[in-house]
Amino acid sequence: MSRIRWYQAGFRPFVVGFSPLSFVRPIAGQRRRQLLFWKMLFSAKAILFDMDGVLMDSTPSVERVWRAWATAHGLDPDSIAAQAHGRRSIETIRAVAPELDAEKENVAVEQMEIDDKEGVTALPGAARLLAHLPNDRFAIVTSATRPLAVARLAYAGIPVPQHTITAEDVSHGKPSPEPFLKGAALLGFAPADCLVFEDTPAGISSARAAGMHAVALRTTYPVDQLQAAHAIIRNLADVKAKLREQLLIVEVDSIPL
């Protein structure tokens, strides 16, 4: 079962479950400044990564596509773009335009997303972290289809991993726990032994419903919408992981919740 330990940077660890007290320390050139992060240690047997907003920045592409699709159908582009992150595209279509043929529209949206590669780049720390993990200890669990996932990974310069769960592999997408439960099963580990990295409220809800610890990245949503996560970080550059006695020891620089 995964475990968490909290540290105040430069201080002794304290018991999980107590609210950490904020404190200040001198910063060169300033009188005082509040600490910007906590050191947190997670132990797990496997890691499950969302893709968009975690491994790569695809937000410009996602919003261009969904705004164009919404405009073409006489829908509110701002509202549609805000709902599209972290969900399977077919579920977004069903939610916002139930009168349309969702299967047909989904094919069109998928191709638009595959064709729109401008600005799709790897996020800081993503390639480094994946390169340091054993192939059998991590998987991508994404709401994208497999062709879209392969395309975006290529655009970002990230190798396609050995294990992936994509939109076609599940009947119910995030926030259902099904995607992460299937990711754990694919790797052969119990859900409680998996640590999840996510960037959306829907993804965090999915991980929590699956019985997993979740670390949120503030790459897509503001911090106040990520409070259900066990920790919040800037990006994967704030993460270090080592395999030690069959456990992954994962250190993160977490923003105080």
CA distance linking residue 42 with residue 155, whole number of Å:
31
Residue 140 backbone dihedrals phi, psi, to 5 degrees: -90, 130
Residue 165 one-letter amino acid: I
Smallest Cα–Cα separation from 180: which of 35, 52, 74, 50? 50
Smallest Cα–Cα separation from 108: which of 140, 73, 143? 73
CA distance linking residue 110 with residue 89, whole number of Å:
8
Q: Which of the residues are catalytic?
A: 50, 52
Burial 17-41 (b: 16+ CB within 10 A, else e): eeebeeeeeeeeeeeeeebebbbbe
